[in-house]
Structure 1
Amino acid sequence: MATDYKRILVTAALPYANGPVHIGHLAGCYLPSDIYVRYQRAQKRDVKFICGSDEHGVPITIRAMKEGITPQDVVDKYHALIKDSFAQMGISFDIYSRTSSATHRQTSQAFFKKMYDDGLFEERESEQYFDSEKNMFLADRYIVGTCPNCGNENAYGDQCERCGTSLSPEELINPRSALSNAPLVKKATKHWYFPLNDYEGFLKEWIVDGKKDEWKPNVYGQCKSWIDSGLHPRAMTRDSDWGVPVPIEGADGKVLYVWFDAPIGYISATKELLPQSWDEYWKKEDTKLVHFIGKDNIVFHCIIFPAMLKAHGGFVLPENVPANEFLNIEGEKVSTSRNWAVWVNEYVQEFPDMQDALRYTLCANAPETKDNDFTWKEFQDRNNSELVAIFGNFINRGMVLMHKLCGGKVPAFHDDAKEERDIELIKEIMASKAAIEKNIEQYRFRDALYEVIDIARKGNKYLQEVAPWSLAKTPELQVENQKKIDNCLHICLQLTANLAIYSNPFLPFTAKKICHMLKVVDKMLDWENGGRMDLLKTGYPLRAPELLFRKIEDTEVEQQRQKLEERAIAFKAQQMANEPKPQTVVEEAKAHELKSIIEFDDFAKIELRAGTILSAEKVQKADKLLKLEVDLGFEKRTIVSGIALHYQPEDIVGKQVTVVVNLAPRKMRGIESAGMILMAEDANGKLIFVSPETTVGAGSEVK
């Protein structure tokens, strides 16, 4: 438990400064770590929250190459963008540093040099691919060639981005340099290897024997698998001109391996934050060190970095590494190369003052034990059905009724009029504190958030049962009923104050708004105040209620889904544009042969019918879409078609078309489309209707 430690040091994985952050990043480690830290601060514990940009490694240089700028230009641009995105989402780092800083260079070089001086590295020579034209060794991402799996001529040395197959440079057909397009040669190079195999015994005792009941199953299982499979020496240096130079003789042109220098960034950032006392957080045994990461970083934070700390000596080891799984978007994996992502900087621009709506959704659907899926529909439902209809509705009703029935002041609680349901709700408020606390301490943030929304739900139920608005309508029982009204609204207002405390780790912007309405200082948000029923004094005047959340409309989420689809189409078009075009009819036929063969039974499932367009109109705020009403003979259907750039609505009314009639309905811009119009594309990219040669009856089957 946190109370066993004098201080807590929390780190969140250093994001690569080669692009913006997306909501998958937030859900993976930054939101969970912020919730945990905000809770620990509310507990008045000594906690420091450390993060920063990872500014070295191949992804940075690849981005620089694509944009035609220097690696330093890349990291300067994206460091600022990422830092601002985190701040706007309320991720409350004590410091957000960067690994290109002088402090980091000195710290990581000193760490390496001590290990080198202690004789902990193995010096090895091996052959690696070399670009003679650029006079440099190439990392896997600098090597391209033909994928042996799908024939993509521009597959990278570590992965084919067309088919997703993991590769090595040796597997590529005709490998060449991505920098110069020159053929490759192999050349001997020297590197320093860290013998991880020497630390198998330590890691087995520390993790396999010691963390089974403490760490999340996904983290423990991955670590045990690595250890059971046997560890091997790993090179801790690379041939590159971008990174932290290796600080020993005979290492010219070599830098520290990014996964050696990046985790040391936690230490160097702490030094920047606390130059006089940083070592207390890293070297004293009464420090609780917690790494928040995504599952793709487990091996580095649980195997390699702890082994480095152990080898160096003098550092504490992580008490826990609560890694989350991945968050998919609309049923597909996040892909930055395909631009299939919801970028945080775009979200805060398009949904201003709605940070907590996103924080709530990402936590409520957090990928804590398995990959989860974010959809804009769920985002809308969570916001409208839970934040607006439950949490916000309860607080607003209580505040409105207090102003209407109690003169705008906190009413007294009358013991002589209390009822069993009053007592039960008070008990629930107190019990919620313990449940939230236990779940946060055990890194179950989704369950903790459920307790917050559940106590608001119980408050709504209680308010509905007492119905103070009805009690106020019986003047013959004015005195007796006013006491019941007072008691009800007194409890509701005290619950509102408690909701500010309980929600603060999750919804910090909302908690501040509640404090403003209640006319209390942020000091009330200290965790020790949770469960109290005297947070608001009797007779204290409160401000007028303000809506905490707004509803999200169908058109808003449809626009976001449309944006994702348009980006996916644009990426596919760009890929096709970059691929060699068939030069002859024969070559074109060969290109078509690459498509998968289907059985007749598959084709027979498609039902095609002739239809007549009865009306057509443009869809608002959608340049490419037309809303069509199509007569199929047996019924009329609404179909949304992306042909607005090719046809005016008035030009196609009366046109006969071929319709796929058994396609599952789908909403587009809030309109349910029940079918698809078949089109062909000419050499100039214009869409042409696939229509019967002669007029046929509407609904005629196309075979």
Structure 2
Amino acid sequence: MAKFNRYLITAALPYANGPVHIGHLAGCYLPADIYVRYLRAKKADVKFVCGTDEHGVPITIKAMKEGVSPQDVVDKYHKIIGDSFAAMGISFDIFARTSDPVHHKTSQDFFLKMYNDGLFEEKESEQYFDPEKEMFLADRYIVGTCPNCGNDKAYGDQCERCGRTLSPDELINPHSALSNAPLVKKKTKHWYMPLQNYEPWLKEYIIDGHKEWKNNVYGQCKSWLDSGLQSRAMTRDSNWGIKVPLPDAEGKVLYVWFDAPIGYISATKQLTENWADYWCKDDTKLVHFIGKDNIVFHCIIFPAMLKAHGDFVVPDNVPANEFLNIEGEKVSTSRNWAVWVNDYIQDFPDQQDVLRYVLCATAPETKDNDFTWKDFQDRNNSELVAVFGNFVNRAMVLMHKLCGGKVPALHPEFMNDGDKDILKEFGLAKEKIENSIETYRFREALSEVIEFARKGNQYLQKNEPWILASVLEKLKAGEQHPKYPQYEEKDIAFLQARIDICLHISLQMTANLAIFSHPFLPFTAKRICHMLKVVDRMLEWDNAGSDKLLSVGYTLRPPELLFKQVENEQVTAQIEKLHAGLKQAMDAAAANAPAVEEAPVAPPKPEIQYDDFAKLDLRVGTILQAEKVAKADKLLKLLVDIGTEQRTVVSGIAMHFNPEDIVGKQVTLVANLAPRKMRGIESQGMILMAEDNGKLIFVNPAEAVKPGSGVS
């Protein structure tokens, strides 16, 4: 960390078309906040910027549904989202808006710099046009019949009935969702960024320069670059967004994924007049926290834009998380299958840190993970209450009971090896936590915090100061304790010292727990500081690992319970609420849509003889590699291990699977199919797939088998 003099941390700009759910928190906002709080504790020069993304089709679609203007939508949800983040302790230095004039000017200036440098390609293409509304339509404004399942309400980008990804040209009888008018094709001009021109630099920057990036990020970037980049439009036809600042660009706006990341720059401009120090000096560390669906934009397109502009630093890291599912199902805002942050705050007041803890402990750092309310309850009750909270409460209660509410002395002359060993844990815990945080392994860092509290409980249990106090009380009364006759009156000083030592060390551990936990559980850390009667300055990272945070004789406040049990009734209520929300959303969707028959099952093919089937050589294979085929949206190039050899297979499944998600999958391969060239690649077989209402599923054995195993 020493080579950087300042840090600029960004979290993905959420669309201002709805509230945020816990999947958003777990994906990027909580990890970013943990990292920033740690940097601040290190007294680093750091800025944490975010804001709402207030342009693009999702905003206008929401406005249509609610019967209001796009501006009304973004005003409403900017506040809801901002309030939710603030309530959860997400400590942005600024939460800006892409509708702000500063952002419009910054984005237009950025575009003009690239335009004046000749970095765009001007291209004409034919796109769908609504003659009644007199406007070009984004894919979501085009409705027609799905060629796959026959749904006559399919959108121009996807059929929500069968899930198939579509383009407007694939729809049967496409028409406008705004006016219901038949569409016409009309020529339109746009400005394209030739991303292929930046391929050599991007490969040097990412593939050679950042092998330390998370596997999911590095792998997805490599797949895109290996497939070859193409020119991408940086403008759109729309009446909502940032106007293209050219005289011949009437009715055109900047592509939302051109202007949105520039929102990080404009937000920094609003935050500080020294914004250029954070964006233009090489000793700045820029880190983007995002979800995996935004990797290509933050790792390839935005860095290429920054490189093309020429005056900015590029990201040092992009620690993207995978997705968080809920109760075993993918989050779906349209189906209302989500735990909304503003609902959680109402249902669990003053328990923000419980959600922060659970979402970090189960964070989808390397793969999709699952949030369940039962796990939420178990982690709260068995870890926060029974370990963390229990240790702090025991230390505080015993100190008030046995030491008069003051920090007792340490008495070095009476310390034993166990005391010295636990003191060594202070520095070891600090080192483990900071190493994990600095390498973006937040789950691992949090587990070290809990482990430190667990060792505190074990230390208390081993030394049993409450038992020693009972023995001491007997001896002072001139009596011998019946269970501990080995202690005599001459041991009074020793026993008092052992009580003091145990509780002194436990209180110093409590102070360290406040520092260690603060990036993760900021509300809890400050409550500990209140009990210990120390100022927030104690939470600085330089103090972590110290055994001299509390002065001997210092009076402390009475103990407070840090956490409370989550009861079965609360869990049941949340699960019922989740399912009720789903039912309500599905009922509303059914009421607003005509009944559509299920896609018919394909009729059986003509009967064959056994000898016909016996001609097929079906073998189980394992996918070793998967990558996109250049200039072919639907094709993946697979390397499949079939035991005796490795086969190259080209498969038309790219619209259904991400390459990095299917590596390691077992498949069934038609191994004796004659080779066939596709896009210049010789395909040596065919993968068998099942189709369920437009969803493709691999045909594979129920249990893993050796590659090359025959299927009969």
Superposed, which structure 2 residues align to 1:372-391 within 5 Å?
372-391=369-388
Residue 526 of structure 1 corresponds to 540
Instruction: Render the CA deviation track for 1:25-50: whole Å, top value 9, x for unaligned.
Output: 00000000000000000000000001
Residue 673 of structure 1 corresponds to none
CA–CA distance in 2 between the matches of 1:115 and 1:239?
Answer: 20
Residue 242 of structure 2 corresponds to 244
3-state SS, counterpart of residue 245 of structure 1: coil
Residue 351 of structure 2 corresponds to 354
Q: CA deviation at 1:510?
A: 0.2
3-state SS, counterpart of residue 472 of structure 1: helix
Residue 85 of structure 1 corresponds to 84
Paired letter, 1:388: V
Residue 666 of structure 1 corresponds to none
Q: CA deviation at 1:205?
A: 0.7
Paired letter, 1:485: I
Residue 708 of structure 2 corresponds to none
CA–CA distance in 2 between the matches of 1:596 and 1:535?
Answer: 73
Superposed, which structure 2 residues align to 1:641-680 within 5 Å?
none
Residue 170 of structure 2 corresponds to 171
- 8 A Cα contact 1:472 1:478, kept in partner: no
Residue 666 of structure 2 corresponds to none
Q: CA deviation at 1:106?
A: 0.5
Paired letter, 1:129: Y
- 8 A Cα contact 2:239 2:253, kept in partner: yes
Q: CA deviation at 1:571?
A: 2.3
Aligned pair in 2 of structure 1 residues 288, 581: CA closer, same or farther (>3 Å)? Answer: closer
Paired letter, 2:236: R
CA–CA distance in 2 between the matches of 1:36 and 1:354?
Answer: 21
CA–CA distance in 2 between the matches of 1:153 and 1:378?
Answer: 41
Say if 2:182 is the partner of 1:183.
Answer: yes
3-state SS, counterpart of residue 325 of structure 2: strand
Say if 2:526 is the partner of 1:512.
Answer: yes
Paired letter, 2:447: Y
Residue 465 of structure 1 corresponds to 462
CA–CA distance in 2 between the matches of 1:129 and 1:32?
Answer: 42
CA–CA distance in 2 between the matches of 1:575 and 1:271?
Answer: 43
Residue 296 of structure 1 corresponds to 293
Q: CA deviation at 1:593?
A: 8.7
Say if 2:434 is the partner of 1:420.
Answer: no
Residue 227 of structure 1 corresponds to 225
Residue 257 of structure 1 corresponds to 255
Q: CA deviation at 1:592?
A: 7.7
Aligned pair in 2 of structure 1 residues 237, 378: CA closer, same or farther (>3 Å)? Answer: same
CA–CA distance in 1 between the matches of 2:154 and 2:400?
Answer: 67
CA–CA distance in 1 between the matches of 2:148 and 2:579?
Answer: 27
Say if 2:154 is the partner of 1:155.
Answer: yes
CA–CA distance in 1 between the matches of 2:229 and 2:31?
Answer: 30
CA–CA distance in 2 between the matches of 1:578 and 1:271?
Answer: 45
Instruction: Render the CA deviation track for 1:568-602: whole Å, top value 9, x for unaligned.
Output: 222222233233359xxxxxxxx5895999xxxxx
Paired letter, 1:218: N
Q: CA deviation at 1:17?
A: 0.3
CA–CA distance in 1 between the matches of 2:8 and 2:207?
Answer: 23
Paired letter, 1:414: H
3-state SS, counterpart of residue 165 of structure 2: coil
Say if 2:383 is the partner of 1:369.
Answer: no
CA–CA distance in 1 between the matches of 2:565 and 2:457?
Answer: 19
Residue 33 of structure 2 corresponds to 34
Q: CA deviation at 1:148?
A: 2.4
CA–CA distance in 2 between the matches of 1:580 and 1:109?
Answer: 44
Residue 645 of structure 1 corresponds to none
3-state SS, counterpart of residue 2 of structure 2: helix
Where structure 1 has 5 or more consecutive residues not aligned to the other structure, the ranges are 583-590, 598-703
Residue 669 of structure 2 corresponds to none
Higher relative contact order (CA 8 A, sep 6+): 2
CA–CA distance in 2 between the matches of 1:508 and 1:256?
Answer: 39
3-state SS, counterpart of residue 4 of structure 1: coil
3-state SS, counterpart of residue 524 of structure 1: helix
Paired letter, 1:403: H
CA–CA distance in 1 between the matches of 2:145 and 2:203?
Answer: 41
**Aligned length in residues:** 587
Q: CA deviation at 1:430?
A: 1.4
Which of 590, 593, 596 lines up with 1:576 in the alignment? 590
CA–CA distance in 2 between the matches of 1:50 and 1:496?
Answer: 32
CA–CA distance in 2 between the matches of 1:593 and 1:25?
Answer: 34
CA–CA distance in 2 between the matches of 1:412 and 1:579?
Answer: 74
Say if 2:305 is the partner of 1:308.
Answer: yes
Residue 621 of structure 1 corresponds to none
Residue 633 of structure 2 corresponds to none
Say if 2:570 is the partner of 1:556.
Answer: yes
Residue 336 of structure 2 corresponds to 339
Instruction: Render the CA deviation track for 1:344-396: whole Å, top value 9, x for unaligned.
Output: 11111110000000000000000000000000111111111100000000000
Paired letter, 1:259: W
Aligned pair in 2 of structure 1 residues 593, 248: CA closer, same or farther (>3 Å)? Answer: closer
Say if 2:153 is the partner of 1:139.
Answer: no
Say if 2:9 is the partner of 1:10.
Answer: yes
Residue 441 of structure 2 corresponds to 444
Residue 268 of structure 1 corresponds to 266
CA–CA distance in 1 between the matches of 2:140 and 2:412?
Answer: 73
CA–CA distance in 2 between the matches of 1:397 and 1:471?
Answer: 15
Q: CA deviation at 1:472?
A: 1.0
CA–CA distance in 2 between the matches of 1:164 and 1:359?
Answer: 33
Q: CA deviation at 1:74?
A: 0.4
Residue 699 of structure 1 corresponds to none
Residue 648 of structure 1 corresponds to none
CA–CA distance in 2 between the matches of 1:12 and 1:572?
Answer: 32
3-state SS, counterpart of residue 216 of structure 2: helix
Paired letter, 2:537: K
CA–CA distance in 2 between the matches of 1:581 and 1:416?
Answer: 83
Where structure 2 has 5 or more consecutive residues not aligned to the other structure, the ranges are 476-490, 604-712
Residue 392 of structure 2 corresponds to 395
3-state SS, counterpart of residue 20 of structure 1: coil
CA–CA distance in 1 between the matches of 2:86 and 2:77?
Answer: 14
Residue 560 of structure 2 corresponds to 546
Instruction: Render the CA deviation track for 1:72-117: whole Å, top value 9, x for unaligned.
Output: 0000000011111100000000000000001001100000001001
Q: CA deviation at 1:11?
A: 0.5
3-state SS, counterpart of residue 75 of structure 1: helix
CA–CA distance in 1 between the matches of 2:519 and 2:417?
Answer: 31
CA–CA distance in 2 between the matches of 1:80 and 1:520?
Answer: 34
Q: CA deviation at 1:524?
A: 0.2
- 8 A Cα contact 1:54 1:98, kept in partner: yes
Residue 506 of structure 2 corresponds to 492
Paired letter, 1:513: R
Paired letter, 2:180: N
Q: CA deviation at 1:163?
A: 2.4
Instruction: Render the CA deviation track for 1:308-354: whole Å, top value 9, x for unaligned.
Output: 01001010011100000000000000001011101111111110000
CA–CA distance in 2 between the matches of 1:437 and 1:400?
Answer: 30
3-state SS, counterpart of residue 473 of structure 1: helix
Which of 425, 434, 442 lines up with 2:431 in the alignment? 434
Structure-1-length-normalised TM-score:
0.82
- 8 A Cα contact 2:149 2:599, kept in partner: no
Aligned pair in 2 of structure 1 residues 76, 397: CA closer, same or farther (>3 Å)? Answer: same
Residue 481 of structure 1 corresponds to 495
Superposed, which structure 2 residues align to 1:31-110 within 5 Å?
31-110=30-109
Residue 111 of structure 1 corresponds to 110
CA–CA distance in 2 between the matches of 1:301 and 1:581?
Answer: 41
Q: CA deviation at 1:144?
A: 1.3
Q: CA deviation at 1:158?
A: 1.0
- 8 A Cα contact 1:491 1:533, kept in partner: yes
CA–CA distance in 2 between the matches of 1:417 and 1:443?
Answer: 41
